Amino acid sequence: MLSPEVMFGADKEKPCVRQVFGISGTGKSVFLRETLRSAARSPKFGELHRFVVFDIKHDGYESLAPPSKSATEALRRVDKDRLVVIHPQMETADQELDQVIEWLFDTAQSVDDFSATLIIEESSTFIGASMGSIPASVKRFATQGRSLGLSLILVNQRALSNKWTDTQSASITCFRLAHPDRDLLRKRWGIDADSMDLRLKERKFSFGHLDLESLDLSYFAPIELPKNPRPVVERKSRLTRFIEAFG
């Protein structure tokens, strides 16, 4: 299986962005949810590591933690909660995403040993096709986040057509793709996406992982589902002092 550390861990030697694509029903959300569940319980992530799921579609991560209705509510809970799920409102989602990213940077710059992973679902809601369509906060995260131990996961049903995000990405995890996206993958990375799709079709919910530095393409079996999935356990931490001062 693709390890939680490879998928969500911060690596100061590589770009901090990872992209995850796949049409609805291919197992993408289940893979992310259950890999997050494992990551949040893994001792390989530091005690002060936090996982933040920013889910504009409001569906798929509720079994990990009770969703917060706003970024403000979630950031109040993140001191004791290893993982938080945010269900932002469409009307305020842009501002709330900026708020989350600003908080992550402020905390990373002020608290020793802090690190974090931000997962943005339906990322095309915020990222368009041109560089000018990317929010300044996302550009900041992509370019400066890795030095602070931050990683960014961009999730979408369709492949992002923004070439700038590719230059900031370490990998692409592909579930079955729409036909136009296969052509995009071929033109941009020289990957035979039709052959990849045939292989993924052989085993439902399997996926490919493309390392954008080596261009190595690996295949993985579907993730095993836990028999009795439990919400992520809360943990106390040394973030309290920072939150009291800046929250």
Mean pLDDT over each residue of the chain, to the nearest integer: 90
Kindly give the parts of the chain with pLDDT less than 50.
245-247
> Looking at residue 43, which CATH number applies to its domain?
3.40.50.300
Range of the domain at 210: 4-246
- Asked if residue 239 lies in contact with residue 82, where contact means CB atoms within 8 angstroms, the answer is no
User: What is the rounded (10 degree) CA torsion for 175, 194, 17, 76?
Assistant: -20
Residue bearing tokens 């390989």: 44
Task: Identify residue 83 by its one-letter amino acid code.
Answer: L
Q: Tell whether pTM > 0.85.
A: yes
* Cβ neighbours, 10 Å, residue 229: 11
> Count of domains in the chain?
1
Torsion angles phi and psi, residue 97, rounded to 5:
-65, -45
DSSP E strand boundaries for the chain: 17-21, 49-54, 83-86, 115-120, 150-156, 169-174, 207-211, 217-220
pLDDT at 242: 56
pLDDT at 25: 92
pLDDT at 138: 96
